[in-house]
Amino acid sequence: MISQTAEYALRAITHMALNPNKAQTSHDIAHATLVPPPYLSKVLQLLGRSGLIMAQRGLHGGFTLLKSPRDISVFEVIQAVDPLQRITTCPLGIKSHGANLCPLHKRLDNAMEVLERSFRETTIAEILSEPTNSHPLCPLPPPKAGASVK
């Protein structure tokens, strides 16, 4: 349905939205979201270019959201890293079809339209406000043998 890159971006944004006013390092985000650090760096760059997050250098630096979680839609996050593809012309390149999609491609595009609408209407704040027993959003790995739990 969505790419791994989009999934990772949603995890990162949602994690940052848990403490929207606190700068978080890429290491902290990677650990909390179980996203491989090198991949997360790429995702954070894309999110920064899109204007969803900001990087702060220095002693108390890290990444912060530039908008309230109430003002960030799932669609915006996905579009920032791996845009959804709508079908506007025949994907097979059949010239006689052009923008007049065949029934198969029209239905596929209609499904994408429904998905896009749902993503546009869902904010990160709504996701975080849903009652759940699964916080944090990603399970933390079990402690290593012999390690003490704080």
- Which two three-digit tokens encode residue 106? 């029209």
pLDDT of residue 144: 57
Contact 65, 123 (CB under 8 A): no
| Average pLDDT of the residues of the chain | 88
- Point out the least confidently predicted range of 69-73, 75-79, 103-107, 132-136: 132-136
pLDDT of residue 142: 52
pLDDT of residue 122: 97
The answer for 98, left when phi > 0, alpha when psi is -120 to 50, beta otherwise, is left
Instruction: Specify the fold of 4-83+123-129.
Output: Arc Repressor Mutant, subunit A (1.10.10)
pLDDT of residue 139: 53
Of residues 23, 116, 45, the one with CA closest to residue 76: 116
The pLDDT tens digits for 75-129 are 999 999 999 999 888 888 888 887 788 999 999 999 999 999 999 999 999 999 9
Confidence of residue 145 (pLDDT cuts 50, 70, 90): low
- What is the model's pTM? 0.83
Of residues 70, 59, 56, the one with CA closest to residue 13: 70
Q: How far, CA to CA in Å, does 121 sit from each of 11, 70, 114, 127, 142?
A: 18, 11, 11, 11, 35
Share of the chain above pLDDT 90, in %: 65
pLDDT of residue 150: 42
